[in-house]
């Protein structure tokens, strides 16, 4: 048993260094976004990314001036991917997405008018 422990540690260190050398990147899918509904049905993943259902809700700026966009309640940075779409540009009142339907611009909705 004592001879197996150094072998195990050596294999663990070797495999972790190999993964770092290969520059393996984790998936960008949000692990907190359920793919199963509350009724137990599996959501239609391609349907979740239909451009007609995407709504730009907010554009935020960090302390260092980098912009983020909130689309359908999820926050995205420039160059982030959402399904088959990539966020190409964040403008003052809009975002530019590129995907299967070509380049699409989502405008920031002004919301309900207040007196």
Residue 96 class from Cβ within 10 Å (0-12 exposed, 13-18 middle, 19+ buried)? middle
* Helix residue spans in 1-115 (DSSP H): 4-22, 45-48
What integer pLDDT is reported at residue 30 of this predicted model? Answer: 62
Position 24 scores a pLDDT of 46
pTM of the predicted model as reported, rounded to 2 decimal places: 0.53
Give pLDDT, residue 43. 64
pLDDT in tens, the chain (115 residues): 566 767 777 767 766 665 555 554 445 556 666 777 777 776 655 555 567 778 899 999 989 989 999 988 889 999 998 777 899 999 999 999 998 778 999 999 754 333 3
Q: How many CB atoms lie within 10 A of CB 52?
A: 7
User: Which residue ranges form the domains of the chain, and what is each CATH number?
Assistant: 45-107 (2.30.30.830)
């Amino acid at each position: 048993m004592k001879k197996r422990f150094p072998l195990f540690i050596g294999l663990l260190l070797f495999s972790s260094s190999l993964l770092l050398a290969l520059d393996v990147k984790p998936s960008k899918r949000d692990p907190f976004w359920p793919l199963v509904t509350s009724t137990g049905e599996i959501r239609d993943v391609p349907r979740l990314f239909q451009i007609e259902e995407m709504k730009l809700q907010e554009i935020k700026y960090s302390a260092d001036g980098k912009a983020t966009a909130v689309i359908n309640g999820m926050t995205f940075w420039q160059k982030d991917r959402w399904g088959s779409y990539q966020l190409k540009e964040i403008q003052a009142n809009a975002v530019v997405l590129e995907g299967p339907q070509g380049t699409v611009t989502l405008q920031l909705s002004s919301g309900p008018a207040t007196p």
